[in-house]
Amino acid sequence: MQPTASEAVAGSTPEPATVEDAVMLALVRVGQRLRQRLPGEDLEFTSIPLLKALQHRGPLRVSTLAEHLHLDASTVSRHVRSLEDRGMLERATDPDDGRASRVAISALGLSRVEAGSARRRALLGEAIAAWDDTDRETLRRLLYRLASDIQELP
């Protein structure tokens, strides 16, 4: 028996029976692909949310950054130290409390995160290049809705 088109694309995995299973499968597969290091890249995928948070929110204390990312402060501290050592973050005294410091994305960090994001957008664009505009817009709208709704959960 010939596999269905979706089974052929997905390999040996049968088509998910529920929307929830389909979302989880898509997240796993997309995540695996996006986490792969792209040629010439020296930025770990796990550092991107941290750098993007600093890009959009400006300089933050490590504890505030950890809260924003919903991560343990010790985990964020390790990432910050690594990124700072590689010149992608800069540390400065907190103007509100001279005993504390804030971290900010550096010019190098900004260029690396933008380049990595552009390559990943291109990869995703390639995956849906054959889709018509209606399907692409439906995907955009539903993914945004899912991301918004899941953010609201306790």
The domains of the chain are located at: 34-151
Give tens-digit pLDDT for 66-92: 999 999 999 999 999 999 999 999 999
Whole-number Å distance between alpha carbons of 88 and 136:
34
Whole-number Å distance between alpha carbons of 112 and 87:
11
Predicted TM-score (pTM) of the model is 0.73
3-state secondary structure of 88: coil
Domain 34-151 in CATH 1.10.10.10: yes
Distances (CA, A) of 109 to 39, 41, 68, 131, 132: 17, 12, 19, 33, 35
Residue 34 confidence (pLDDT): 82
* Cβ neighbours for 99, distance < 8 A, ≥ 6 positions apart: none
